[in-house]
Structure 1
Amino acid sequence: MSWFPEKKSGQSWVHRVCQRILRTGPIPRHVAFIMDGNRRFAVKNHIERAEGHFKGFDKLSETLEWCLDIGITEVTVYAFSIENFKRSKDEVDCLMELARQKFTRLMQEKELIQKHQVCVRVLGNLTLLPLDIQQQIAECVHFSKDNKRAVLNVCFAYTSRDEICAAMREMAEGVQLGLIKESDISEDLMEKCLFTSQSPNPDLLIRTSGEVRLSDFLLWQTSYSCLSFVDVLWPEFSIWHLYGAILHYQRNYPVIKRAIESDLCDRERKQRESDYNCVLSECESTDQSKNSVSDLVLQYAKHREARIEQFVHHVNSKRLRYFEELASRHKTVHV
């Protein structure tokens, strides 16, 4: 099945009415999915596990279409956890082969990617994957990187703890290289070093299969997301489950909005205090008036922002080079 179905299934008047009703409230811009239940679906329907995973991909394709129809412009999916490498060799090999087939299919759909202006990002510790899959992923990411209408983030060879550790290593390296100071490290800087740094945090996270845990998925990013746990296996997920999750988000939107605004104010306060304390420590040996200290804090904040901008550019350039080099190697091999 295609990643981006060209032919839309005809919507009934019921679906059109439901979508109009939902659009009277806030529609989440970014929705994350833990697509759980493919193996249990296979057992339930007496089919091979591999077939269950293929059914799960087909459901993803269908769900992306529903999301675009209703106005959700960014989707993040948990496709393969680092923990999944602990499964049987046969199942891991099956999942790797599924990835090969689907990323190959994705690059065969370049016209659809450009038509729908979808930016595809693959997030995770990709070095854990076979080289040919890394190269396929890199070619896809590099090809679609400038598209703006919609974003699909595929978390592959990913766990949130691994992502956070990688971000911490980036910041430590930045301090060692003299690009940033230790005092520059903050929650905001951490977010700029995460794999998801180019995306807003998810408004809504949906997990299927009835499990009520996050399984090491977007732990940092979902601090203020609305969580919806749906008691249905992923291949059985329907548009009605999506509508229900959006209604759940809309009911909780005022509380979530207040919590996000409070967190933003708290971060700004902490940053001002940090800048002030840094200036005081640098000027403690001199006699500064209150007004001059205030001016120095503003000046320090500008220098800090410039340092962070340079550092973030360094981090992003390094990641971009990784994808460009792999994509270039992949093209060379296939010429």
Structure 2
Amino acid sequence: MGSLLDWLIHFPPLLWGLEQVEEVAIRALKHGKIPQHVAFVMDGNRRWAREHRVETIEGHSLGFETLKNLLRVCLKMGVKEVSTFAFSIENFKRSKHEVDALMDIAKNSLNQITAHGDMVDQYGIRIRIVGDLALLKPDVYETVVNVVESTKNNTRATLNVCFPYTSRHEISNSVQSIVHLAEDGKLVPEDIDESLFEKHLLLNDSHPLDWLIRTSGVERLSDFLLWQVHEDSQISFIDSYWPDFSIWRFFPMLIRYQLQSQQGE
């Protein structure tokens, strides 16, 4: 399967369009193990913009298009849950101009994804916004609430947009929730275990994290899904900047994921 798929990706028949090649590649890959929960650290938008001598915001905008393409392919293959690190709480330290622009891109992107007839309708996606929502501007917060409410009954797949998020905030938030329950007399110390802790995480009711991918060549997690990463999670660090991370780079990586999964069984 690997050699055929590699050939289709690198030397697509001249009479075919990319859509046909994509469909053939997806059908071939579906014969192997498909991760049920994939997470992306979408890194490198700013560096991509600097190297191409364009505005930083253009890099972020192209990054959203990359996410849409990868999300579409993941859903076609049967991935049930995708998590994205869209905005770290630490990013508020950036210039006000960039933060405001990122907030506007996030708001417009969420509206675009949930537009009638777009991906949410086609694939039955539930969107969850995971993070400290109190930090959002009122107009962005209103969009977030509307998006979550309008998709909450969809059951075929889940998109977790971590925005604004850090694992430290998520973990401390879970601890605070459990402490409040204890103070109210609703539990005793013996009730506290991993299951209870996970129940109070912002990212709860999720599939186990199978695969985490970070672009831009940086090899660290940067406070993303630290609790969710476990001994069976595969982690891939790649050199591409996020706007350059196309589905044609994703497909060979998925083949390697499938081969490594077979070796681990």
Paired with 2:23 and 2:104, the residues of 1 have a C-alpha distance of 38
Q: 1:123 — aligned with what?
A: 130
Q: 1:326 — aligned with what?
A: none
Amino acid at match of 1:76: S
Paired with 1:216 and 1:238, the residues of 2 have a C-alpha distance of 25
Cα deviation, 1:83-105, whole Å, max 9, x if unaligned, reads 10011121111111212322333
Number of aligned residue pairs: 247
- Unpaired segments ≥5 residues, structure 1: 1-8, 258-335
Map 1:119-268; keep pairs closer than 5 Å.
119-224=126-231, 225-253=233-261
Q: Could you say what secondary structure the match of 1:166 adopts? A: helix
State which of 100, 107, 116 in structure 2 corresponds to 1:100.
107
Percent of aligned positions with the same letter in both sequences? 43
Task: Note if contact 1:33-1:207 (Cα within 8 Å) is conserved in structure 2.
Answer: yes
- Unpaired segments ≥5 residues, structure 2: 1-16
Paired with 1:182 and 1:154, the residues of 2 have a C-alpha distance of 32
Paired with 2:113 and 2:23, the residues of 1 have a C-alpha distance of 29
Q: Does 1:64 align with 2:74?
A: no
State which of 42, 51, 58 in structure 1 corresponds to 2:49.
42
Cα deviation, 1:256-290, whole Å, max 9, x if unaligned, reads 66xxxxxxxxxxxxxxxxxxxxxxxxxxxxxxxxx
Shift of 1:114: 3.1
Amino acid at match of 1:130: K
Paired with 2:144 and 2:158, the residues of 1 have a C-alpha distance of 15
Alpha carbons of structure 1 residues 146 and 31: separation in structure 2 relative to 1, 3 Å: same
Shift of 1:10: 4.9
Cα deviation, 1:1-44, whole Å, max 9, x if unaligned, reads xxxxxxxx85234x444334322221101100000010011011
Cα deviation, 1:217-257, whole Å, max 9, x if unaligned, reads 00000123110111100000011321233223223325766
TM-score, normalising length: structure 1: 0.70
Q: Does 1:23 align with 2:9?
A: no
Alpha carbons of structure 1 residues 255 and 187: separation in structure 2 relative to 1, 3 Å: farther
Which fold has the larger relative contact order, with Cα–Cα distance below 8 Å and residues 6 or more apart in sequence?
A: 2
Task: Note if contact 2:42-2:215 (Cα within 8 Å) is conserved in structure 1.
Answer: yes
Amino acid at match of 1:40: R
More helix by share: 1
TM-score, normalising length: structure 2: 0.87
Shift of 1:177: 1.4
Alpha carbons of structure 1 residues 127 and 65: separation in structure 2 relative to 1, 3 Å: same
Structure (1 or 2) with the larger CA radius of gyration: 1
Task: Note if contact 2:111-2:147 (Cα within 8 Å) is conserved in structure 1.
Answer: no
Task: Note if contact 2:209-2:230 (Cα within 8 Å) is conserved in structure 1.
Answer: no
